[in-house]
């Protein structure tokens, strides 16, 4: 089927088309899901190479489940996020077993003078955010990233994390507070002083 015809087709339909031999459907599904899965894994793992491996594995599991996909049971994107979450959890636990996670290894945020240009400031802010995310407990980090960066709804997050909606609300609230606390002291370095003070 032509790609422009598929543009408005839901993920689930694309998955069925893929299972029936449509290569274009697979490519379009990859275009939609891979950047999201990769970004999510990168946020959870803080490691681009590992994130790519996880994203590839999550997509491979999607391809494999395609022939047996049960319509209406789950959203394709939610399913992939869930697989990615589990794969990242496995990797993080593997890291914990190998060594204590050295939070101090996270990149230092450059000082304000070094980040004079807007691009550098933005990069500093993202590095600081990633450092702060890394300091959160695993479940809080997942919930915060899914809610505030990936833009999932609380019911979707509940499905991804296999918990209740109230638990999601609790995790995201506590995670956001912890995130703010982790970033405390860096506000000036991230040039927020210039904008909001």
Closer to another protein by Cβ: residue 91 or 125: 125
CA angle 110, 135, 129 (to 5 degrees): 40
Stretch that binds another protein, among 60-68, 79-87, 90-98, 134-142 (CB under 8 A): 60-68
Asked if 71 touches another protein (CB under 8 A), the answer is no
H/E element, 79: helix 76-98
Tell me which residue has tokens 């960066």.
Answer: 149
Stretch that binds another protein, among 49-57, 82-90, 106-114, 156-164 (CB under 8 A): 49-57
**What spatial distance separates the first Cα and last Cα of the chain, rounded to whole Å?**
55
Least separation, in Å, of the C-beta of 138 and another protein? 18
Among 13, 63, 95, 112, binds another protein (CB under 8 A): 63
CA 193/CA 135 separation, integer angstroms: 24
Asked if 52 touches another protein (CB under 8 A), the answer is yes
CA 149/CA 61 separation, integer angstroms: 24
Stretch that binds another protein, among 74-82, 89-97, 126-134, 153-161 (CB under 8 A): 126-134
92 and 63 Cβ atoms separated by less than 8 Å: no
Residue 137 has which token pair?
């407990």
CA 103/CA 106 separation, integer angstroms: 6
Asked if 152 touches another protein (CB under 8 A), the answer is no
Closer to another protein by Cβ: residue 96 or 153: 153
CA angle 181, 46, 124 (to 5 degrees): 60
> Which of the residues 2 through 31 are near another protein (CB under 8 A)?
18-21, 23, 26-27, 30
Residue 9 has which token pair?
């087709």
Closer to another protein by Cβ: residue 64 or 99: 64
Site residues (CB under 8 A) for another protein?
18-21, 23, 26-27, 30, 34-35, 38-39, 42-43, 51-52, 55-56, 59-60, 63-64, 66-67, 122, 125-126, 128-129, 148-151, 176, 179-180, 183-188, 190, 192-193, 196-197
């Amino acid at each position: 089927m032509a790609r422009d015809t598929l543009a408005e087709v839901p993920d689930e339909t694309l998955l069925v088309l893929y299972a029936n031999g449509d290569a274009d459907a697979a490519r379009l599904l990859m275009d939609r899901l891979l950047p999201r899965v990769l970004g999510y894994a990168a946020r959870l793992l803080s490691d681009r190479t590992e994130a790519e491996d996880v994203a590839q594995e999550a997509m491979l599991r999607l391809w494999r489940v395609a022939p047996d996909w049960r319509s209406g049971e789950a959203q394709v994107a939610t399913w992939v996020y869930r697989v990615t979450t589990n794969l990242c959890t496995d990797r993080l636990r593997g890291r914990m077993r190998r060594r204590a996670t050295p939070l101090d290894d996270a990149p230092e945020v450059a000082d304000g003078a070094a980040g004079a240009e807007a691009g550098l400031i933005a990069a500093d802010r993202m590095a600081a955010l990633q450092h702060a995310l890394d300091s959160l407990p695993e479940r809080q980090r997942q919930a915060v990233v899914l809610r505030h960066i990936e833009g999932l709804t609380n019911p979707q997050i509940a499905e991804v994390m296999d918990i209740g909606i109230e638990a999601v609300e609790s995790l995201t609230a506590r995670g956001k507070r912890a995130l703010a606390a982790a970033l405390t002291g860096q506000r000036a370095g991230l040039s927020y002083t210039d904008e909001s003070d």
